[in-house]
Chains A and B, each alone.
Chain A
Amino acid sequence: MSEREQVVSLTGLEYRYPGGFVLRAERFELLAGEIRALTGPNGSGKTTLMNVIGLLAFPERGEYRYRGRLLPRSGPGLTRARRSMTMVEQNPYFFRGTVGDNIAAGLKFRRLPRREIGAMVARAAAELGIARFLDRDPAGLSAGERQRVALARGLVLEPEVLLLDEPTANVDRQAEELIERAVKRFHRESRSVVLWATHNLRQAFRVGDGVMSLVDGRIVPGTIENFYPGRVEVRDGEKLFRFGPGLTAVVSTGTGEGPGRLLVPPEGIVLSRAPLDSSLRNTFPGRVAGIGERGERVAVEIDIGVPVIAVVTVVSYRKLGLHLGSPVSVSFKAAAAAVY
């Protein structure tokens, strides 16, 4: 992974909102050819992060490098960099004119020859099944159709970085599948970088090679399913996090004593039928409370006093022979648990 080119690299990012909320990223990279999902609750900063990466918003602090180069904040250099990428929004805005005019907009900004634009628009529209709408006003289309127009408008530009800000949040299942297929096909053929923000964890694992989340303006790896309020205490030089009655985890990161939140990535949890005799510092007994699909893996919900989600491979799941109600031991490293 580390040998792949860093297409987007943010260091020491700090973006402040008027209300006091701050989006922070010590280090954030998008590598060549990757398709990454970004999850997080409303207001966690997903759209702002997209805007910053798409050069539509500028943070107060931090360094932004695109393919290793620092970018100017105005002028033709900024426009050139913006033309390497595009963003598709949850509620896309459409310019006056037809669907065809809208898909052609970005190509016209790039001053491509008219004939070439016509052919590219027709091809993009055909790929998303909207060729018959080319002469229609986008306002008259359904939410799913409009979103396909917005995606066609982005894909036709063949961007090096495609930013998708919850593009399927308001569409039906059929349109969602069509959009996912189109993006995956585009990614396969172009090897462009795709960053896909979504609320839907199943979708995140379906579309992304990797998943990351935003929690209170901070980027964390994985999803934010196991997120518990509690307190940090220091005892005998060891940092402990109390997050429920009788539930104390040894943690190695985070601030000093006081209230905080514990985040344990589901991928960092080890399941076993009996408590493990290992170097894992945290082990809790529990019972299986739910089993579901998670892309090509299995998400197991375990009740240890609070619900915990663990994601395991299908082979591991079968080996463990888990069923609803099975007793199971949940373990994770102190280093896998982050405190915020």
Chain B
Amino acid sequence: MAFLIDGLVGAVRLLIGLNPELLRIVGVSLRVSITALFFAALAGVPLGLALAVGSFPGKRAAITVLNTLLGLPTVVVGLLGYAFLSRRGLLGDWRLLYTPYAMMIGQFVLALPIIATLTLSAVSGVSIRASRTALALGASAGQKNRLLLGEARFAILAAVIAGFGRIFAEIGVSMMLGGNIQGYTRNIPTAIAYETAKGDFALGLALGLVLLAIALGVNLLLQVFQGKPE
């Protein structure tokens, strides 16, 4: 019990004192995950929209693949990423392994299916009646699609936030593609695992508290947007 209390006191001290190592770790986490999320949203939202309103061969297969990828273990993505990015891999010449960019690519792959499938479901929820009304009022195909995104904007924002939840606390991709290099690729989940194993329970706990606080904030935000009627 004393061990836990000591750890907690140490963690609070680190947080109040704005420990530089702690801030660096949090900074890496935020930078990597937000960048990955930005590109995943940039690709996932139009992909979800296209799957919701488009009709093309292979659409059903694409939806099945995306749904399968939703449950993809992060270590599998890390493994595949490693296969591509390691020196002997297809993209080995890019020398991305053990860089924040490799982590971003892995997290992008993790976030894309969740953003695309939730966007698909958000747009499908409004698309039939909203589409028909927009077309009856003279919207072009592009205007109609923009309007559908606007109609489903809260659910789409919730999809992006859910994507953030999926990648921010993951460890498989970060560890396997980032390599947990101090000050460079060490993010919150890899640092927690590393520091705890090393015996620095206070830092691990402090990072855990930050992760919890961010997860709580993200979930609160998600609830706010999910509560908005479409």
Number of A-B residue pairs having CB atoms within 8 Å of each other in the complex: 51
Q: Are A109 and B132 in contact (CB under 8 A)?
A: no
Given A95-B151, A109-B143, answer yes or no on A82-B136 (Cβ-Cβ < 8 Å).
yes
Query: Across the interface, which residues of A come within 8 angstroms of B137, CB to CB?
Result: 86, 105-106, 109, 153-154, 157
Query: Across the interface, which residues of B come within 8 angstroms of A82, CB to CB?
Result: 135-136, 138
Listed A/B pairs (26) with beta-carbon separation below 8 Å = A51-B132, A56-B132, A56-B136, A74-B141, A76-B140, A79-B138, A79-B139, A79-B140, A79-B141, A82-B135, A82-B138, A83-B138, A86-B136, A86-B138, A89-B133, A93-B129, A93-B130, A93-B133, A95-B130, A95-B134, A95-B147, A95-B150, A96-B150, A96-B151, A106-B137, A157-B138
Alpha-carbon gap, A82 to B134, bound state (A): 11
A residues lining the B interface (CB < 8 Å): 51, 54-56, 74, 76, 79, 82-83, 86-87, 89, 92-93, 95-96, 105-106, 109-110, 153-154, 157
Determine which residue in B133, B135, B147, B150 has the highest number of CB atoms from chain A within 10 A of its CB, and name it: B133
Determine which residue in B129, B140, B150 has the highest number of CB atoms from chain A within 10 A of its CB, and name it: B140
Other contacts beyond A93-B130, A95-B133: 5, CB < 8 A:
A56-B132, A82-B135, A82-B136, A83-B138, A93-B129
Alpha-carbon gap, A154 to B136, bound state (A): 9
Q: Are A109 and B134 in contact (CB under 8 A)?
A: yes
Alpha-carbon gap, A70 to B138, bound state (A): 19
Q: Are A56 and B138 in contact (CB under 8 A)?
A: no
A153 and chain B: residue at smallest CB distance: B137
- Chain A proximity of B144: nearest CB distance (Å): 9
Query: Across the interface, which residues of A come within 8 angstroms of B133, CB to CB?
Result: 89, 92-93, 95
Alpha-carbon gap, A109 to B134, bound state (A): 9
Alpha-carbon gap, A106 to B139, bound state (A): 7
Query: Across the interface, which residues of A come within 8 angstroms of B140, CB to CB?
Result: 76, 79, 109
Query: Across the interface, which residues of B come within 8 angstroms of A106, CB to CB?
Result: 137-138
Alpha-carbon gap, A92 to B147, bound state (A): 16
Alpha-carbon gap, A79 to B130, bound state (A): 16
Query: Across the interface, which residues of A come within 8 angstroms of B153, CB to CB?
Result: 96
Alpha-carbon gap, A86 to B132, bound state (A): 11
Q: Are A109 and B150 in contact (CB under 8 A)?
A: no
Alpha-carbon gap, A110 to B130, bound state (A): 17
Alpha-carbon gap, A82 to B147, bound state (A): 17
Alpha-carbon gap, A87 to B147, bound state (A): 18
Q: Are B129 and A56 in contact (CB under 8 A)?
A: no
By Cβ-Cβ distance, the 6 closest A-B pairs, closest first, are: A106-B137, A83-B138, A93-B129, A87-B136, A93-B133, A109-B139
- Chain B proximity of A86: nearest CB distance (Å): 5
Chain B 28-71, CB within 8 Å of chain A: the 1/0 string? 00000000000000000000000000000000000000000000
B129 and chain A: residue at smallest CB distance: A93
Query: Across the interface, which residues of A come within 8 angstroms of B150, CB to CB?
Result: 95-96
- Chain B proximity of A164: nearest CB distance (Å): 12
Alpha-carbon gap, A121 to B136, bound state (A): 18
Chain B 129-169, CB within 8 Å of chain A: the 1/0 string? 11011111111110100010011010000000000000000
Alpha-carbon gap, A253 to B138, bound state (A): 41
Q: Are B151 and A105 in contact (CB under 8 A)?
A: no
B128 and chain A: residue at smallest CB distance: A93
- Chain A proximity of B133: nearest CB distance (Å): 4
- Chain A proximity of B136: nearest CB distance (Å): 4
Chain B 97-137, CB within 8 Å of chain A: the 1/0 string? 00000000000000000000000000000000110111111
Query: Across the interface, which residues of B come within 8 angstroms of A87, CB to CB?
Result: 136
Alpha-carbon gap, A55 to B133, bound state (A): 12
Alpha-carbon gap, A33 to B121, bound state (A): 43
Alpha-carbon gap, A89 to B138, bound state (A): 15
Alpha-carbon gap, A87 to B135, bound state (A): 10
Q: Are A110 and B151 in contact (CB under 8 A)?
A: no
Query: Across the interface, which residues of B come within 8 angstroms of A93, CB to CB?
Result: 129-130, 132-133
Q: Are B134 and A56 in contact (CB under 8 A)?
A: no
Q: Are B135 and A56 in contact (CB under 8 A)?
A: yes
Q: Are A105 and B136 in contact (CB under 8 A)?
A: no
- Chain A proximity of B138: nearest CB distance (Å): 4
- Chain A proximity of B230: nearest CB distance (Å): 9
Query: Across the interface, which residues of A come within 8 angstroms of B139, CB to CB?
Result: 79, 109
Alpha-carbon gap, A93 to B230, bound state (A): 12
Alpha-carbon gap, A93 to B141, bound state (A): 18
Query: Across the interface, which residues of B come within 8 angstroms of A74, CB to CB?
Result: 141
Query: Across the interface, which residues of A come within 8 angstroms of B129, CB to CB?
Result: 93
- Chain B proximity of A305: nearest CB distance (Å): 46
Query: Across the interface, which residues of B come within 8 angstroms of A157, CB to CB?
Result: 137-138
- Chain B proximity of A159: nearest CB distance (Å): 9
